[in-house]
Copies of this chain bind each other. A is one copy, B any other.
């Protein structure tokens, strides 16, 4: 799954600027399974325009910089459907925190406790964001299906961390090496 396809998927639902696409990847209801940064979105949009899969129109705004609004073309819709029909690529899950957690026994307890709390807070925030997306009900049935899958998984993840984090903290080194701290 490349950034090109991601851009097409967002433009499929309606026109948007590069900036908005990025925001949807970070804050949108589907931000829990797609991601992309400016450094890849803008070049991708430029290439899509070269290939005729999207068109752009520059819009002047008072009080804000001019923006380039992209729309998908019929050719783009076809290309997107073909892309989805082709090989998809595997799901990716990477967790620096879980790597950290595996070594709890060599780390000072204060640090493990702080990180575990951060991790829980992050999960609570992500979970709540998805519950709100579900409550809004602006999305179609397929979107709702995807959101419900996310809700089910996040609910369990949050609950598991909440009720088991103290076990992880107990595993950490009781006394932090005083001199070697930083």
Binding site for B on A (CB under 8 A): 1, 5-6, 9, 12, 30, 32-35, 80-81, 84-85, 88-107, 111, 115, 122, 140-143, 145-146, 148-150, 152-153, 155-157, 160-161, 164, 167-168, 171, 182
Q: Across the interface, do A102 and B141 meet the contact criterion of CB distance under 8 Å? A: no
5 CB contacts below 8 A, A to B, read A6-B99, A30-B99, A33-B98, A104-B142, A145-B171
| A67→B161 CA distance, assembly (Å) | 41
In this complex, what residue of B is CB-closest to A98?
B33
Could you say which residues of chain B place their CB within 8 Å of the CB of A98?
30, 33, 146, 149-150
Q: Which of B115, B152, B161 contacts A88 (CB 8 A)?
A: B115
Could you say which residues of chain B place their CB within 8 Å of the CB of A149?
98, 157, 160-161, 164
* Total copies of this chain within the assembly: 2
| A99→B146 CA distance, assembly (Å) | 9
| A105→B6 CA distance, assembly (Å) | 17
Q: Across the interface, do B93 and A93 meet the contact criterion of CB distance under 8 Å? A: yes
Q: Which of B35, B81, B150 contacts A94 (CB 8 A)?
A: B35
| A115→B1 CA distance, assembly (Å) | 15
Q: Across the interface, do A153 and B145 meet the contact criterion of CB distance under 8 Å? A: no
Q: Across the interface, do A85 and B99 meet the contact criterion of CB distance under 8 Å? A: no
Q: Across the interface, do B164 and A33 meet the contact criterion of CB distance under 8 Å? A: no
A157 to chain B, nearest CB (A): 5
